[in-house]
Amino acid sequence: MSSEKVKNVAKPVDLEILKRDLYGHINLSTSFKAWMGFLTLLLGGCLFAYFIQLKNGLIVTGLRDYVSWGMYLSNFVFFVASSLIGMLISAVLGLVGIKWITPIARIAEIIAVAFSAVAGLVIVSDMGRPDRLLNVFIHGRFQSPILWDVTVITTYMVISVLLLFIPLIPDLAIGKKLDNLPKWLKKVYSILALNFIDSPEQRKIIASSIRTLLILIVPVALSIHTVTSWLFAVNSRPGWDSTIFGPYFVSGAFVAGSACVIIAMYVFRNSYKLKDYLTDFHFNQMGKLLVLVALVYLYFNINEYLVPAYKMQKAEAHHLHELFAGRYAVMFWLTQLGGLILPILLLLLPKMRKPKPIFVIALAVLLGAWFKRFIIVVPTMEGPFLPIQHVPHNYMFYSPTLIETAVTIAPIVMVVMIVSVLAKFLPIIPVYETAHENGIVTK
Amino acid sequence: MAEDQNTTNSRRSFFEKLGLAGAGVVAGSLAMYEAYQYEQIKKTEGKKVKLLTADGRLVEIDEAHVQSHTEDTSNLQERGRVGMEGKRFVMVVDLAKCRNARKCVSSCQNAHELRPEQYHMNVLQMQESPNTAAYNMPKPCQHCDNPPCVSVCPVDATFKRQDGIVLIDNERCIGCRFCMAACPYNARIFHWQEPKNALGESKVDERKYDVELNVPQKKGTISKCLFSADRLREGKLPYCVEACPNGVYYFGDEVEDSVTNGTTKETVRLSKLLKDNSAFQLMPELGTKPRVYYLPAKNRLFPFEKTEDPIEKTNV
């Protein structure tokens, strides 16, 4: 596969065309300002909801003593999951020498950076005493999985930022000399380009540091989602008490992340006129990748639900009944059928792997992925070992409130903002690499 | 040179005199203070008070020698984390006697300043299977010897003491609620809003935080059953044990192998009580090693009554 000849660009190109096409979207357009303005307003509204939560306590959410983890926690799992795609595309596919990822790798890294940077804030929004956040460092005890999570997520974010930044250096060096870029941006480019002059030594340093990071990020990425799954699996509750939670979560993460990348590819291809760089071929390949990871995830789902359902142990039986035919049946079957099985079947058809249909399918998969986390977190908490008695009615069944929903949306808006800004001010198709693949001399 | 010597000498002698005068003043005031103290003692001499010393002896001393002393928070924290040396507290719940009077619940909620829907101790109505008898089951924290809640706490806010009690320090708790997720008994509660006795935004609760009572309670932190560690320090039985009108609870020390019934005040051998009555623990298969034992609900003196709590119709 590694020796396979891949044509990543749909038309003959030279350096000038590359410069024109790939830096073309970098300007402070009115539509971008309007988009960011809209996001800022939305974020402001959501942060106001968080302010209310800070003032009145978590009573403003639907969480109570039995369902004490809810939408915030499932949103956190979704964030960590989505960030894993950077590792899958750049490291796993990159290290085995797959060439078609060249124009997609940076999009995947931007998504990884955005989600991993904001994931920490999602957890803070769930804390009863965010003012005591520093206690985690002052009084931290390393036998708590939360400490492991803090450690690996921070490490993953740093490596992801480096994996975004280092391959970008040659592109910044090219960009700082372009006339049509804003002056302030060229200044930023020239500082960040670190005096890259495309000398053989510099190329060597960049290549070897990227390779080191790609190898490093594989175990770190596996760790972050495995540890995140252990936040649940270390508890003996029905639905969480599972030994396959690590790989189950990791495979699910690749499904969510692949869907994210496909959606981002579609948006950038259209709004930044990159049809010749993000071609039907790339969507086709991403479609196949999504089928592969979704099949692996389906396999783990069958294990996770079928094996306990065969035994029907007391506590598990109650939990599974709620999922299969009870209160969460609609959500459960929608995520399994609409978010997993149907997309797999559809994407087996080549015409469904064209940009537009695969974009729609990816949206369904991503939505399903979000609700799947909800399904993992909430029903388990509603079905504890001992009966729920002598408590108010809303302690027995969890339903998220409006304020809680707004606080959940806030980090999603932040991710969209980070992705928007990075994609706006950076060439999202790697210029230097594309040039070299096409035999263009950049020096 | 000679003149020089002279100046040095006179400076030295000045300091000598100053030092002497200073020492005199200090000695004088000390003497006066002692005299004052003596007069104070003389004033109240004759009144005797009985005190229990740290090593458990009852002594009678002059009241004048008693100084009032309040524990400060750090001191309370320190002894609260260490626990009581040589003790291993244990609770035995006789299910045959419980008729859901809920006095344990209310006295606990009073002592720990909890809202009506907040339980350190709850009485649950249980039925193992459709063909077996229903019964009432008081459910405090099980004070596990292998507590899952303590393992997962990221900041050491909840901890296990040498006397077997699991406590929560609400001055350190960050409110992540991992312990609630980890506890298979749902023994923990969270302050979703300002606690019952909160004074409002402008005022600060001046009371010193006692980790053995977990009062004052704090918004955004965990609370839980403490086996009434504050009462145990005074040599008393826990609030719930004392409040029970039906003789459900036995409480005592595993090291001494004795437990005392809270209602009848009868003290019995722990090991014999457990063996004679086929005692069991809640979900021992989870490996939590609870310090609460249950005696089966057999030979009951009253029929089981299914009750509906009006609180279940409300939303809080």
Looking up residue B154, the CATH number of its domain turns out to be 3.30.70.20
Give the pLDDT score at A44. Answer: 98
Residue B298 has pLDDT above 50, yes or no: yes
Give the pLDDT score at B30. Answer: 85
Residue A137's contacts (CB-CB under 8 Å, 6 or more residues apart) are none
Confidence of residue B39 (pLDDT cuts 50, 70, 90): confident
- Tens of pLDDT, residue by residue over A236-292, are 999 999 999 999 999 999 999 999 999 999 999 999 999 999 999 999 999 999 999
Q: The domain spanning residue A345 has which CATH number? A: 1.20.1630.10
Confidence of residue A174 (pLDDT cuts 50, 70, 90): very high
**Region B150-171: what's the mean pLDDT?**
97
pTM score over 0.80:
yes
Strand pairing partners for A375?
none
State chain B's mean pLDDT as an integer. 90
Return the DSSP state at A397: S
Residue A1 has pLDDT above 90, yes or no: no
Return the DSSP state at A339: I
Three-state DSSP class for residue A188? helix
Confidence of residue B300 (pLDDT cuts 50, 70, 90): confident
Residue B3 has pLDDT above 70, yes or no: no
Give the pLDDT score at B301. Answer: 76
Question: Is A232's Cβ below 8 Å from some Cβ in B?
Answer: yes
Contacts of A143 in chain B (CB under 8 A): 151
Residue B151 domain flag? yes
Residue A216 has pLDDT above 90, yes or no: yes
**Region B129-151: what's the mean pLDDT?**
96
User: Containing H/E element for A129?
Assistant: none
Confidence of residue B155 (pLDDT cuts 50, 70, 90): very high
Residue A417 domain flag? yes
Confidence of residue B60 (pLDDT cuts 50, 70, 90): confident
Residue A132's contacts (CB-CB under 8 Å, 6 or more residues apart) are B155, B172, B173, B174, B175
Confidence of residue B69 (pLDDT cuts 50, 70, 90): low
Measured CA to CA, the distance from residue A308 to residue A301 in angstroms comes to 11
Percent of chain A clearing pLDDT 90 (strictly above): 96
**Region A104-115: what's the mean pLDDT?**
97
Give the pLDDT score at A2. Answer: 42
Q: Are residues B100 and B52 in the same domain?
A: no
Residue A397 domain flag? no
Three-state DSSP class for residue B168? strand
- Tens of pLDDT, residue by residue over B14-30, are 777 788 888 888 888 88
Q: Are residues B48 and B113 in the same domain?
A: no
Of B188, B221, B309, the CB nearest to A129: B221
Q: Are residues B179 and B131 in the same domain?
A: yes
Q: Are residues B56 and B203 in the same domain?
A: no
Q: Are residues B192 and B102 in the same domain?
A: yes
Do residues B211 and B106 touch, judged by C-beta distance below 8 A? Answer: no
- Tens of pLDDT, residue by residue over B82-124, are 999 999 999 999 999 999 999 999 999 999 999 999 999 999 9
Residue A171 domain flag? yes
Give the residue with greater pLDDT, A424 vs B52. Answer: A424
Residue B261 has pLDDT above 80, yes or no: yes
Of A128, A141, A389, the CB nearest to B156: A141
What the block records as the tokens of A349 is 């058809």
Residue B4 has pLDDT above 60, yes or no: no
| Overall domain count for chain A | 1
Residue A205 domain flag? yes
Neighbour tally for A311: CB within 10 Å: 9
The domain in which residue A356 lies consists of: 3-384+404-437
| Overall domain count for chain B | 2
Measured CA to CA, the distance from residue A222 to residue B172 in angstroms comes to 31
Between β-strands B249-253 and B222-224, what pairing exists: parallel, antiparallel or unpaired? unpaired
Confidence of residue B8 (pLDDT cuts 50, 70, 90): low
**Region A367-386: what's the mean pLDDT?**
97
**Region A100-113: what's the mean pLDDT?**
97
Measured CA to CA, the distance from residue B232 to residue B229 in angstroms comes to 5
- Tens of pLDDT, residue by residue over B180-225, are 999 999 999 999 999 998 887 677 778 899 999 999 999 999 999 9
Residue contact B311–A390, C-beta within 8 A? yes
Give the pLDDT score at B61. Answer: 82
Confidence of residue A225 (pLDDT cuts 50, 70, 90): very high
State chain A's mean pLDDT as an integer. 95
Between β-strands B89-94 and B292-295, what pairing exists: parallel, antiparallel or unpaired? parallel
What the block records as the tokens of B12 is 């030295």
Residue B292 domain flag? yes
Contacts of A142 in chain B (CB under 8 A): none
**Region A20-39: what's the mean pLDDT?**
94
The domain in which residue B56 lies consists of: 15-65
Contacts of B190 in chain A (CB under 8 A): 58, 65, 68, 128
Of B173, B180, B311, the CB nearest to A392: B311
Residue A243 domain flag? yes
Residue A394 domain flag? no
Residue contact B155–A141, C-beta within 8 A? yes
Give the residue with greater pLDDT, B43 vs B147. Answer: B147
Residue A340 domain flag? yes
Backbone φ and ψ for B247, nearest 5 degrees, come out as: 70, 30
Confidence of residue B12 (pLDDT cuts 50, 70, 90): confident
Give the pLDDT score at B222. Answer: 98
Residue type, B111: A
Least confident of A34-48, B199-213, B273-287: B199-213
Backbone φ and ψ for A403, nearest 5 degrees, come out as: -60, -40
Of B174, B192, B316, the CB nearest to A58: B192
Residue B184 domain flag? yes
**Region A92-99: what's the mean pLDDT?**
94
Question: Is A236's Cβ below 8 Å from some Cβ in B?
Answer: yes
